[in-house]
């Protein structure tokens, strides 16, 4: 870890020119405009407008200059059996002496971009609110799972589950989870089983990459008003790298679960855990379920928000983090005791 080097984001002119060239010869199925149901979430006409904006008006260099106002670094990490991996990360220390180190880990299809709105709120908060030294890893992981209560382990909670004896908000959360599992989860099985095949297609086509992401960005948020620039920022961050590598975590996690289901689901997290719950998240479980696997010390149900909450409602997330880590809050007050 000694070889930590400052890094500047600089996409090659060649790649940017290639993208524009591919967008100019994009071949769309115009019959999609006649289909009433469209899982892109934005419809055929709006998708065409988005592609036209990317081709004619979008300015990556302007956004790149903004990205380079943040502190980027790279370092090689050696993993046994593999070549050294070049890891990209952001590191933003606070000027406050009482600041707490905080690691931000994004999911898929996010990237380090998700952290950009909350970084200044965490490192330079108002007087009286906890400050943080923040590190943001540029990796892809999204595996925080819970199962319904087991009759062998918790008979009372299992009976409650069978009766669906939950309050209105918990039932709405479970319905959202059912909706996601039945209507949105197909991408997950593809990325678990055919990520290399899909990776070839997405790596070659900016249109394909945009189509694969835009519906998820729209459907997985709580009516967040995505701008055209934001949709392209998030898409290009995956396109310029390796879409296959970004999706690999799904394949690896599936392999681990197939080999030993308890490797992820059978462990109890003894450290204090805080949960901010947003109604348009994807996997939403009652606190009862989560307490089977985690030492829950903080739980807050919000009235709005979705999967990309650091981008959608940064102030709400930062307020919860600050409350969780407050000197009088659950981390320092309750320590590692079970709650």
Same domain, 114 and 17: yes
Q: Read off the CATH number of the domain in which 295 is found.
A: 3.40.50.1820
Claim to verify: residue 84 and residue 126 sit in the same structural domain: yes
Distance from the Cα of residue 251 to its chain's centroid: 17
Which of the listed residues 259, 285, 315 is the one where a domain comes to its end? Answer: 259
Of 225, 240, 259, the residue that ends a domain is: 259
* Domain annotation covers residue 30: yes
- Measured distance CA(187)–CA(195) in Å, rounded: 10
334 domain residue, yes or no: no
Indicate if the alpha-carbon torsion angle 163, 166, 171, 173 is positive or negative.
negative
CB under 8 Å, gap of 24 or more: what pairs does 333-336 form?
334/272, 334/297, 335/272, 336/270, 336/271, 336/272, 336/295
Instruction: Determine the pLDDT at residue 166.
Output: 78
Share of the chain above pLDDT 90, in %: 58
Q: Closest by alpha carbon to 338, among 292, 301, 276?
A: 292
pLDDT tens digit sequence for 118-165: 999 999 999 999 999 999 988 643 222 334 445 555 455 545 544 566
pTM of the model: 0.87
Final residue of a structural domain among 234, 259, 284? 259
State mean pLDDT over 163-189.
84
Higher-confidence residue of 294 and 321: namely 321
The encoded tokens of residue 125 equal: 């908060």
Look up residue 200 and give its two tokens.
């070839």
The candidate with the shortest Cα–Cα distance to 203, out of 251, 247, 243, 246, is 243
Residue 3 domain flag:
no
Burial classification of residue 337, based on how many CB atoms lie within 10 Å of its CB (0-12 exposed, 13-18 middle, 19 or more buried): exposed
Instruction: Give me the number of domains the chain comprises.
Output: 2
Say whether both 17 and 108 belong to one domain: yes
Rg (CA), the chain: 21
Percent of the chain with pLDDT over 70: 86
| pLDDT tens per residue across span 22-36 | 999 999 988 887 776
Q: Distance between terminal CA atoms of the chain?
A: 36
Structural domain boundaries enclosing 94: 13-21+74-170+261-325
């Amino acid at each position: 870890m000694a070889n930590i080097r400052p890094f500047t984001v600089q996409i090659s002119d060649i790649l940017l020119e290639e993208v524009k060239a591919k967008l100019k010869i994009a071949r769309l199925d115009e019959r999609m405009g006649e289909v009433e149901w469209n899982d892109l979430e934005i419809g055929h006409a709006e998708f065409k407008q988005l592609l036209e904006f990317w081709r004619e008006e979008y300015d990556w260099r302007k956004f790149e200059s903004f990205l380079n106002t943040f502190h980027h670094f790279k370092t090689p990490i050696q993993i046994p059996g593999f070549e050294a991996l070049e890891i990209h990360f952001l590191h933003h220390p606070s000027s406050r002496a009482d600041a707490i180190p905080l690691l931000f880990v994004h999911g898929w299809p996010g990237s380090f971009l998700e952290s950009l709105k909350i970084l200044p709120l965490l490192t330079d908060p108002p007087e009286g609110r906890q400050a943080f030294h923040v590190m943001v890893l540029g990796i892809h992981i999204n595996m925080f799972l819970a199962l319904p209560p087991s009759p062998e382990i918790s008979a009372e909670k299992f009976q409650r589950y069978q009766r669906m004896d939950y309050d209105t908000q918990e039932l709405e959360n479970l319905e959202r989870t059912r909706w996601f599992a039945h209507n949105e989860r197909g991408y997950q099985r593809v990325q678990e089983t055919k990520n290399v095949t899909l990776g070839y297609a997405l790596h070659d086509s900016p249109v394909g990459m945009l189509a694969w992401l835009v519906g998820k960005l729209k459907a997985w948020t709580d009516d967040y008003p995505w701008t055209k620039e934001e949709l392209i920022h998030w898409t290009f961050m995956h396109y310029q790298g390796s879409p296959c590598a970004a999706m690999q975590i799904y394949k690896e996690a599936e392999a681990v679960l197939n080999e030993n289901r308890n490797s992820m689901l059978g462990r109890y997290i003894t450290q204090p855990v805080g949960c901010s719950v947003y109604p348009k998240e994807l996997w939403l479980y009652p606190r009862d379920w989560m307490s089977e696997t985690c030492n829950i010390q903080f739980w807050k149900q919000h009235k709005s928000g979705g999967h990309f909450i650091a981008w959608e409602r940064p102030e709400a997330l930062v307020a919860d983090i600050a409350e969780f880590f407050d000197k009088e809050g659950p981390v320092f007050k309750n320590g590692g005791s079970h709650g």
